[in-house]
Amino acid sequence: MSTSYVLIVFALVILLMIFLISKCKVNAAMGILIAALILAIALGTPWAEIEGTINSGFSGTIKSVAIVIFLGCTMGTVLEKTGAAVRITKWAIKLVGEKNMIWAIALSSFILGIPIFADTVVILLIPIVSLLAVQTKKSMMSYGAALYLGALVTASLVPPTPGPVSAAALLNVPLGQAILWGLIVAIPSVIGATLYCMTLKTPVLPKEEFLKAAQETEHMELPSLSKSLLPILFPLFLILANTVASVMMPETPVANFFAFIGSPLAALFTGCILSLLLTGKEWKSKKVLNDWVNEGIVAAAMPIVVTGMGGALATFVKNAGVAEKIADIIVQSSFPAILIPIIIAAIIHVVTGSNALGVMTAAALVEPMLATLGISPVAAFLACGTGALMFKHANSSGFWVTVSMSNMDVNQGIRAVGGASTVAGFIGAIFTCILFALHVI
C-alpha cells in the first residue's frame, strides 16, 4: 500500500467526517465512528479485527476520563442550580470596581468556565451582565463577548471541563500538568480577548427581559463566596499538590497519600461533596442527590462517547502508520511542527463550530505523530486547546447563545465573538510556540 494512497484516503476520510458533522448535522460521535469504519476498511484492516480494534480504542481512551467528566459535569450542575455562579460574579465586581467592570465579567467567567460549559455560563450570568451594561453605559457587544470568552478559554484549556480532560487523556498528559499549563496559557489569552472587547463600542442595549431578571436576582439568597469557590478551587489544589509531591518527594508516604487524594477521580469527587454545602438543608433531598446527578450524567454522556470514538479513530490512524507518514513529510519540509496541532484544531473548530470537538479530535489525530514531530504531549495539548479557540462564528451554539442574549445582530456578533475568540486563540498559540521554542514544554 503506497504512501500516497494512505495519505489520500486519510485526507478524504477526515474531510468526510467534518462534512457529516458540520453540513449533514450528524452527531459528532456517529460521524467519528463512520470515519473510523471507512478508514479501517480502506486501509485493509482485516474484517474480523475491525470491531475489536474500535472497542479497544474506545475503552482504552475513556477508562481514565469517563468518571472524571461525569463528576465535573455533576459539580457544574450544582454550581448552576445554587446561585454560586452569581455569587462569584458579584464578588468579582466588588473586587475590581465599577470602572473596571469588564475585567470582573471576564474574571468570573474565567473561573466558572473551569467546571461549567461556556454556553451555560452565558445563560446564567447574562441578566447580571445586562444590568451592569446599563449601569456603566457600555455596549453589550463588549460585555457579552467578554462574558463568553472568559469561559470559552478555560473550557478549551483547563480541566475538568470535558474538552481538555479528553485531550489530556488522548495525549497521555497528567491532569495536574494539564491544569497548570492550561492556566498559564489561558491567562494571557483571556487578557488579550478582554482588551479586544474593550475596543467594541458600537451601542448595543441589553434586552429588557434580562434587566427584569437581574432585578429579581438582587433579592435572591445566595451562598457565601467561600462555599461557592471551594468546590472549584479545592479539587484543583489537590490535583496540583499531587503533581508537586510526585516531583519534590517521589516514592515517599506523603507522595503516596497525595497520589490518591490528588488523583482526578478523588479530587473531583471531593469537589462534588463540597458542593453539597451550597444546597443548605436540601442536601439530603431527591432533587439534589438524584435529579441533579442525572443532569450531570446527561451533560457528560456526549463528551465521553465522542472522546472514546476519537480514541478508536486514533487507533486505526496509528496502526496504519498514517501519522508517521504525515509527520515524516512535515519534518522533511522544515514546516514548524508545533503549528500542526494548532492548524488541525483550528480547522475542525471553524468548520464544525465546536471547540470541544476541535480539541478532542485534533488530540486524537496528532498523538501518533508526536515522536516523529518532536513535540511533547504538553505542547500538543496546549496547541490543540489554543487552535480550537480560533474564530467562533455562526455555526456554533455558543455564538448564537451569546449573540442573541446580548441583543447583537450577526455582523456585530462576528466582530465581537468571532474577533475576540480569534484574538484569544492567536495569543494562546503564540505563547505556546514561545514556550515550545524555549524548551519549557
Measured CA to CA in angstroms, residue 365 lies from 15, 43, 119, 190, 421 at distances of 13, 16, 26, 27, 23
Is residue 86 within 8 A of residue 268, CB to CB? The reply is: no
Amino acid at 369: M
Please provide the average confidence, as pLDDT, over all residues in the chain: 90
Tell me, what's the pLDDT at 1?
65
Helices and strands (H, E) in the chain, number of each type: 24, 0
Tell me, what's the pLDDT at 99?
82
Tell me, what's the pLDDT at 326?
78
Q: Is the pLDDT of residue 281 over 90?
A: no
Other CB atoms within a 10 A radius of the CB of residue 27 amount to 14
Where do we find the cell 474538552?
163
Residue 255 backbone phi and psi in degrees, to 5? -65, -40
Which ranges of 292-369 does DSSP label H, i.e. alpha helix?
Answer: 292-319, 322-333, 339-352, 355-366
Least confident of 10-19, 31-40, 104-113, 430-439: 10-19
The span from the CA of 275 to the CA of 272, in Å, is 5
Is residue 41 within 8 A of residue 55, CB to CB? The reply is: no
Half-sphere exposure of 382 (CA within 13 A, CB side): 30
Is residue 413 within 8 A of residue 403, CB to CB? The reply is: yes
The span from the CA of 132 to the CA of 143, in Å, is 9
The span from the CA of 179 to the CA of 162, in Å, is 13
The span from the CA of 279 to the CA of 342, in Å, is 41
Q: Give 224's contacts (C-beta < 8 A, 6+ positions apart).
A: 87
Q: Is the pLDDT of residue 192 over 80?
A: yes
Is residue 76 within 8 A of residue 296, CB to CB? The reply is: yes
Q: Is the pLDDT of residue 203 over 80?
A: yes
Q: Give pLDDT tens digits for 118-149.
A: 989 999 999 999 999 998 999 999 999 999 99
Tell me, what's the pLDDT at 60?
86
Least confident of 211-220, 318-327, 397-406: 211-220
Q: Give 378's contacts (C-beta < 8 A, 6+ positions apart).
A: 173, 177, 178, 181, 441
Which ranges of 97-207 does DSSP label H, i.e. alpha helix?
Answer: 101-112, 118-136, 140-157, 162-170, 175-197
Tell me, what's the pLDDT at 4?
82
The span from the CA of 182 to the CA of 39, in Å, is 32
Where do we find the cell 470515519?
35
Q: Is the pLDDT of residue 272 over 90?
A: yes
85 Rama sector, left if φ>0, alpha if ψ -120 to 50, beta otherwise: alpha
Is residue 410 within 8 A of residue 394, CB to CB? The reply is: yes
Least Cα distance to 436 among 350, 373, 359 occurs for: 373
The span from the CA of 374 to the CA of 370, in Å, is 6
Measured CA to CA in angstroms, residue 376 lies from 91, 171, 435, 439 at distances of 38, 9, 11, 10
Tell me, what's the pLDDT at 217?
65
Q: Is 372 exposed, middle or buried (0-12, 13-18, 19+ CB in 10 A)?
A: middle
